[in-house]
Amino acid sequence: MNNNKESAFFLAPAIGLIVGNLGGHSDSKKHSGLVSPFGIDLALMLGLTIGVFKSFGFTLTPGIAIGQMGFIVIGFGIHFGRKWGLGLVVPVFPLWG
């Protein structure tokens, strides 16, 4: 009898695209993303995802947002098949910019 149980938790590297400034702000000429087409800031996020369940579940992702302004961020989200997901990224501490 095999007593090896697979854990419901997993760790995986995370690479993501952050889309910001959809609601606009008071200074429309100041952007914080790598690029800002049509006034929408796009930044890159690198981190480590901590998730639960194989096919669908929740994730917690500490990481770094890379753009004109860099931030240490934490992301809360959901994943589908441990391959892709959607989340909300909250800036924690500015690094540069």
Q: How many domains does the chain have?
A: 1
User: Does residue 27 lie in a domain region?
Assistant: no
* pTM of the full structure: 0.75
Tell me the per-residue pLDDT of 74-93, one tens digit each, with 9 for 90 and over.
Answer: 999 999 987 888 999 988 98
User: Does residue 1 lie in a domain region?
Assistant: no
- Partnered with residue 45 across adjacent β-strands are 16, 65
- What is the model's pLDDT at position 53? 87
| Structural domain of 55 | 9-22+33-96
How many angstroms separate the CA atoms of 58 and 76, rounded? 8
What separation, in Å, do the N-terminal and C-terminal C-alpha atoms of the chain show? 58
- What is the model's pLDDT at position 33? 66
Tell me the per-residue pLDDT of 13-35, one tens digit each, with 9 for 90 and over.
Answer: 999 988 876 555 555 566 666 67
User: Does residue 4 lie in a domain region?
Assistant: no
Please state, in angstroms and as integers, the Cα–Cα distance from residue 74 to each residue in 25, 30, 77, 95, following that order. 22, 23, 10, 14
How many angstroms separate the CA atoms of 86 and 56, rounded? 12
Of the chain, the percentage scoring pLDDT greater than 70 comes to 77
